[in-house]
Amino acid sequence: MGLHSPVVRGACLVGALLAFSATPQAADTVAGLLESSAPAYTLRVEINGVHIPTIRGGGVQLQHLFDEGDPRRAEVAEGGAWVFSLHAGENRIRVEFHKTRPEMEIPLHLRLLPDAPGGMPVVDMLIQNSAAGTVERGFWLSRRLPAGQRPVEIHDTDVQPAPTR
């Protein structure tokens, strides 16, 4: 197993995230985990206009997201594995996708889980029939999620088709 294998890279990312996550977080900041399962798709994901480069499709990917105002931001290098894109209150997610492996009948599934008590997703995207398109939706995030808050669900009917060339 080489240094660039997905297993080794994944183990390194998980270890680094655990170490960074152990650093105390400011009480008024938010954080979350973006999960993507899209083996048959390429993706481009933005949250609040910030591109999430590690979520690109072609497999399963995870990215820990932090508050734009998180004081720990000064501790990490720009352009590294840490993405500071969230803020308390209203946020926006934009996902562009293209199915690159039409022979695979595996859906695109993307979830954003808050780093908050309860841990229910705030965004739950499941695309089963669309080959390409864009989705943009708002979602609410806070340190303490309201009881009974339902995720923003995104399905094929929410997709804006990709422009034809």
- What pLDDT, on the 0 to 100 scale, is given for residue 98? 97
Contact in structure between 124 and 158 (CB atoms under 8 Å) = no
CA torsion angle for 75, 78, 79, 85 (degrees, to 10)? 80
Strand 123-127 to 152-154 pairing = parallel
Contacts of 89 (CB under 8 A, 6+ apart): 140, 141, 142
- What pLDDT, on the 0 to 100 scale, is given for residue 116? 77
Query: In sequence order, what E strands does 31-88 have?
Result: 31-37, 41-47, 50-51, 60-67, 83-86
Name the least confident of 26-30, 42-46, 59-63, 157-161: 26-30
- Reading the block at residue 99, the tokens are 């199915």
Residue 43, pLDDT above cutoff 50: yes
What DSSP designation does 87 have?
-
Q: Which amino acid is at 140?
A: W
Mean pLDDT for the stretch of residues 116-145? 90
